Amino acid sequence: MYRCELCNVVQPPRTRCHKVVTETRPAEYPSRPKAQSRRVGRKGKALDDPGGAGYEIAKEVLACPKCAQEFLAKQAEAEAAGIYGQDAPASL
């Protein structure tokens, strides 16, 4: 049993919950020298992590299957309409 955070209704036992991403934020990760180690033959070799940029989850909620499906449909519709660009969060 859990409470759907979108419709605020307690779900019956054995109902699967879905994690839905409601907000994202841009993130930049710096490069890290000698962050990863790999074996080459018998010796270990230190490799650099190049870092990068992208988006990470800022907020996610537990939702019932019905609410999750509706939320994802609304989100896809909004993205198709051009409301959300790559710089905007994915919240409705």
pLDDT band at 14 (very low <50, low <70, confident <90, very high): very high
Backbone angles phi, psi at 69, to 5 degrees: -65, -45
Amino acid letter at 91? S
Residue 87 has pLDDT above 60, yes or no: no
Contacts of 86 (CB under 8 A, 6+ apart): none
Rounded mean pLDDT of the chain? 86
Residue 32 has pLDDT above 80, yes or no: yes
The strand ranges marked E within 3-83 are 18-29, 32-40, 43-49, 52-63
72: tokens are: 């994802």
In the 8-state DSSP scheme, what is residue 37?
Answer: E
